[in-house]
Amino acid sequence: MRISPGKLALSILLLLITGLGLAQKDIVIGADTNGEHYDPQRGLSGSAHIMMAMFDGLTRLDPDGTLRPSLAESWELVNNNTWRFTIRQGVKFHNGESLDANVVKLNIDRLITPHQTRASLGSTVTGATVVDDYTIDITTVDTDPLLPSKATGFLIGPASMEQDPDNDSTEFNRHPIGTGPFKFVEDVPGEYIRLEANPDHWNGAPEATSLTFRIIPDRSVQLAELISGGVDFIENVTPELIDLVNRSDVAHVVQTGSAISHTIVFRQDVESPLQDKRVRQAINYGVDIDTIIDNVLSGYATPLATVVLPIALGYNPDVTRYPYDPERARELLAEAGYPDGVAIEFDFTPSIGELYNTEVLQAIARQLEGVGIKLHLNSLEYGIAIQRVYGDDTVNPAFRWQWKTWYNDPDSILYGFFSTGGSASYVSYPEIDDMLHRARYNLDNEERAQIYRDLQVIIKEEAIHLPLYNLQTLYGVSDRLDWQPRVDGRLYFAQTKFRD
């Protein structure tokens, strides 16, 4: 390929034109990666932002996490294991098909079909019954207080999505059709996916005329694109670059707390000093997380007392972190029979843990060394780490992990980390199991909250983890946009307004 001056001039001209194109109400998002599967029941988490633009769920969450109607106008519990949803009338899919209870049933049936990879979302659902054209009953194994929240993820596709329900329809996911505020235009794998506004959306047309999710793997390059006006939106600005973005005259930084809890998990099911509560407490006393947050993370994180976030139901403000007390840590260690210190094998993954993960762990290791606890840091490749933690349980006695809180509810994170057999749990406390079970199948939110508050006391006292923090997410947003962040970290552009 030869590049002539003419061609060069042409491409610069093209650039200028695309630059002018930005003056229209198009939003270009610089993304780390795009999902590649846009089937409402099969798409994976990588596709979430894009799916949320094209599809509506039965319910939806406000930016602050409040549950709101979406394709379902209202819902009620008709008996202990049946939720009744009233479906919005007059909703059309992008291809003109209509929405009714039968279409919703088809989607629910498809969601709980055993071979769906996302099926765990509907793991408590046993079936759906059409009551009339716009009413549907969803039945669950036991009382499920969270079903309306989970229904935010029950995305609805049209009846034509599946001519033959037994057939693995792979065609639909390449030309997805939903009811959402944006319609699918084209998907170029590895480059971008483009959506355009759906003027007939039941909640009003979005102001943006189109959305383009461009894949830019390198975060420094995402930033370069943002401050040069090449993209309108990026996630994950590093704290040190906030000034650079704000001074750029084209973009600004929007900050919000993330819903991800960062923590260090101790295994109690394998032989190690960590089986002794005093050692675990000593570690908690031996880490000065505030100093680490202030320095390594420039203050852009909030320390956690347990993995339960302040936004979550039943957050207990009376449970506080173990104070930094190296003296007490050494005492506890000596009491546990390790006056000369202990050595602990520790696993982590550079790509799990977001901002400056390795640096944070090295700082923690250094502090713990000061009280006689030597962490041997072993870095694991991402896939191997997932396999060892969720799969065959061969991870080292201590490891770094994280979990996201959904619907402002701690059920999933607590089950995951503390129930016997939970996917990231390496402990077994019958008392905790019982409490978790009672909360999971309880319709009274105040009772649930009380159980969770009590649980946090036990989790802290037992020092099951060394909880770390949740980070502030820093978004870089074009000055043309009034964009609102969400507690769940999802990127919504349907309500985004343009500044003139």
Partner 1 sequence: MFKYVGRRLLVVAPTLLGVMLIVFFLTYTIGNPAVLLVPPEATPEDIARVEAVLGLDQPVAVQFLRYIGRIARFDFGVSFYSDRPALNLVVQRLPATLQLSLVALVIAILIGLPAGLFGALWRGKFADVALSASVLFGMSIPNFWLGLMLIILFGVQLRLLPISGSGTPAHLILPAITLATGMLAMIARLVRNDLLDVLNADYVRTARAKGVSNTIVFIRHALKNALTPVITVLGLQLGALLGGAIVTESVFAWPGVGRLILQSIERRDYPVVQAATFILAVIFILTNLVVDVVCATLDPRIVYE
Partner 2 sequence: MSNVLAKLVRSPLFIAGVIFLAPAIAFAIGAQWIAPHDPNEQVLSLRLRPPVWQGGDAGHLLGTDALGRDMLSRVIYGARVSLLIGVAVVVISGLLGTLVGVLAGYFGGWLDNLLMRIVDTFLAFPFLLLALAVMAVLKPGLWNLIMVLALTSWVPYARVARVRARALKGTEFVEAAQALAAKPLAIMGRHILPNISSSLVVIACFEIGAAMLAESTLSFLGLGISPDIPTWGMTLNQGRSYLLFAWWPTTIPGIFILLTVFGVNLVGDGIRDATDPRTRR
Binding site for partner 1 (CB under 8 A): 1, 3, 7-8, 10-12, 14-15, 33, 35-37, 39, 42, 44-46, 114-115, 117-121, 123, 168, 170, 173-174, 188-191, 214-218, 220-221, 224-225, 227-228, 230, 381-384, 386-387, 390-391, 403, 412, 415-416, 421, 423-424
Q: Considering the complex, what minimum distance in angstroms separates the CB of residue 89 from partner 1?
A: 33
Stretch that binds partner 2, among 318-326, 362-370, 402-410, 486-494 (CB under 8 A): 362-370
378 contributes a contact to partner 2 by CB under 8 A: yes
Q: Which does residue 230 bind out of partner 1, partner 2, none, counting CB within 5 to 8 angstroms by kind?
A: partner 1
Q: Which does residue 295 bind out of partner 1, partner 2, none, counting CB within 5 to 8 angstroms by kind?
A: partner 2
Measured CA to CA, the distance from residue 196 to residue 212 in angstroms comes to 9
Neighbours of 401 (CB within 10 A): 24
Q: DSSP character for 37? A: -
Q: Which does residue 66 bind out of partner 2, partner 1, none, counting CB within 5 to 8 angstroms by kind?
A: none
Torsion of Cα atoms, 488 then 491 then 497 then 500, to 10°: 120
Q: Considering the complex, what minimum distance in angstroms separates the CB of residue 74 from partner 1?
A: 28
The one among 349, 419, 425, 456 contacting partner 2 by CB under 8 A: 349
Q: b/e map of 38-76 (b: 16 or more CB within 10 Å)?
A: bbbbbbeeebbbbbbbbbbbbbbbeeebebebbbbeebe
Q: Considering the complex, what minimum distance in angstroms separates the CB of residue 382 from partner 2?
A: 7
Q: Which does residue 33 bind out of partner 2, partner 1, none, counting CB within 5 to 8 angstroms by kind?
A: partner 1
Closest CA to 445 of 78, 126, 143, 10: 143
253 contributes a contact to partner 2 by CB under 8 A: no
Q: Is-contact 409 67, C-beta < 8 A?
A: no
Give the count of residues interacting with partner 2 (CB under 8 A). Answer: 32
Length of the chain: 500
The one among 350, 390, 434, 446 contacting partner 2 by CB under 8 A: 350
Stretch that binds partner 2, among 93-101, 236-244, 270-278, 478-486 (CB under 8 A): 236-244
482 contributes a contact to partner 2 by CB under 8 A: no
Place of tokens 């406000």: 62
Q: φ, ψ for residue 43 (rounded to 5)?
A: -60, 145
Q: Which CB, 109 or 335, lies closer to partner 1?
A: 109
Question: Beta strands 26-31 and 210-215: pairing type?
Answer: parallel
Q: Which does residue 126 bind out of partner 2, partner 1, none, counting CB within 5 to 8 angstroms by kind?
A: none
Residue at 29: amino acid letter: I
356 contributes a contact to partner 2 by CB under 8 A: yes
Q: Which does residue 415 bind out of partner 2, partner 1, none, counting CB within 5 to 8 angstroms by kind?
A: partner 1
Q: Which does residue 378 bind out of partner 1, partner 2, none, counting CB within 5 to 8 angstroms by kind?
A: partner 2
Q: Rounded to a whole number, what is the largest CA-CA distance in the chain?
A: 79
Q: Considering the complex, what minimum distance in angstroms separates the CB of residue 143 from partner 1?
A: 19
Place of tokens 């640096």: 359
The one among 159, 377, 449, 458 contacting partner 2 by CB under 8 A: 377
What value, to the nearest 5°, has the Cα angle with vertex 496 and ends 492 and 497? 180
What are the residues whose beta carbons fall under 8 Å from the beta carbon of 199, sequence distance 6 or more? 205
Q: Considering the complex, what minimum distance in angstroms separates the CB of residue 336 from partner 2?
A: 25
The one among 86, 129, 362, 423 contacting partner 2 by CB under 8 A: 362
Q: Where is 421: in which H helix or E strand? A: none
Residue at 348: amino acid letter: F
Q: φ, ψ for residue 465 (rounded to 5)?
A: -125, 170
Q: Where is 72: in which H helix or E strand? A: strand 72-79
What are the residues whose beta carbons fall under 8 Å from the beta carbon of 446, sequence distance 6 or more? none
Q: Where is 386: in which H helix or E strand? A: helix 382-386
- What are the helix and strand counts (H, E) for the chain? 14, 21
Q: Which does residue 461 bind out of partner 1, partner 2, none, counting CB within 5 to 8 angstroms by kind?
A: none
Q: φ, ψ for residue 21 (rounded to 5)?
A: -55, -30
Here the tokens at position 296 are 């390594």
Radius of gyration of the chain from Cα atoms? 25
Q: Considering the complex, what minimum distance in angstroms separates the CB of residue 246 from partner 1?
A: 16
Q: Which does residue 163 bind out of partner 2, partner 1, none, counting CB within 5 to 8 angstroms by kind?
A: none
Stretch that binds partner 2, among 14-22, 137-145, 360-368, 465-473 (CB under 8 A): 360-368
Q: Which CB, 370 or 391, lies closer to partner 1?
A: 391
Q: Which CB, 2 or 68, lies closer to partner 1?
A: 2
Q: Which CB, 138 or 363, lies closer to partner 2?
A: 363
Q: Which CB, 95 or 295, lies closer to partner 2?
A: 295
In the window 289-308, what residues touch partner 2 (CB under 8 A)? 291-292, 295-296
Here the tokens at position 272 are 């190690």
The one among 138, 385, 464, 468 contacting partner 2 by CB under 8 A: 385
The one among 22, 67, 119, 244 contacting partner 2 by CB under 8 A: 244
Measured CA to CA, the distance from residue 173 to residue 39 in angstroms comes to 5
Q: Is-contact 415 123, C-beta < 8 A?
A: no
Question: 3-state DSSP: the chain helix, strand, coil percent, rounded to 5?
Answer: 35, 25, 45
Q: Is-contact 135 42, C-beta < 8 A?
A: no
Please report, as ranges, the residues that interact with partner 2 according to CB under 8 A.
Answer: 219-220, 223, 238, 240-241, 244, 291-292, 295-296, 349-351, 356, 358-359, 361-363, 365-366, 376-385
